[in-house]
């Protein structure tokens, strides 16, 4: 499991499942706890949507965001398709798909205080 600080666990759970298409592994809103997984790999790595309600977590999250640094990177097999689909769902992109020497990347806001990067490897 890996975690990402969010400023609202319930809103993050809704965004990550309804907009990004993750599946629920554990969701206990009364405990402020949400763990999600990729729909196509539900036994894979879980993503803990961790509340930033502590000074260290909140400071870390805010400084990443203010610096324009993505909090996490998700892999994509077809970044252009993902980009267009997410745009239709109202996702705000800071950077549209762009080819780099490491692949194709795009950066968007998760509505919960983070920048998220999509990355597609280039075919060699």
29-45 tens-digit pLDDT: 999 999 999 999 989 99
Find out whether 5 and 58 touch, Cβ atoms under 8 Å: yes
Cα distance between residue 14 and residue 76, in whole Å: 21
Which secondary-structure segment (H or E) carries 4? strand 2-6
Q: What is the pLDDT of residues 91-105, one digit of tens each?
A: 999 999 999 999 999
In the prediction, which pLDDT does 124 show?
Answer: 57
Query: Tell me, what DSSP letter sits at residue 52?
Result: -
Question: What is the dotted CATH code of the domain comprising 2-120?
Answer: 3.10.180.10
Which secondary-structure segment (H or E) carries 71? none
In the prediction, which pLDDT does 123 show?
Answer: 78
Cα distance between residue 124 and residue 106, in whole Å: 20
């Amino acid at each position: 499991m890996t975690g990402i600080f969010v400023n609202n666990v319930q809103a993050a759970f809704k965004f990550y499942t309804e907009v990004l298409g993750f599946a629920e592994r554990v969701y206990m809103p009364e405990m402020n706890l949400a763990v999600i997984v990729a729909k196509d790999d539900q036994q894979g790595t879980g993503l803990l949507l961790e509340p930033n309600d502590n000074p260290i977590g909140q400071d870390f999250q805010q400084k990443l965001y203010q610096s324009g640094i993505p909090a996490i990177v998700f892999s994509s097999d077809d970044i252009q398709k993902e980009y267009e689909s997410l745009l239709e769902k109202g996702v705000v992109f800071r950077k549209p798909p762009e080819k780099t020497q490491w692949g194709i990347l795009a950066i968007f806001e998760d509505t919960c205080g983070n920048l998220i990067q999509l990355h597609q490897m280039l075919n060699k």
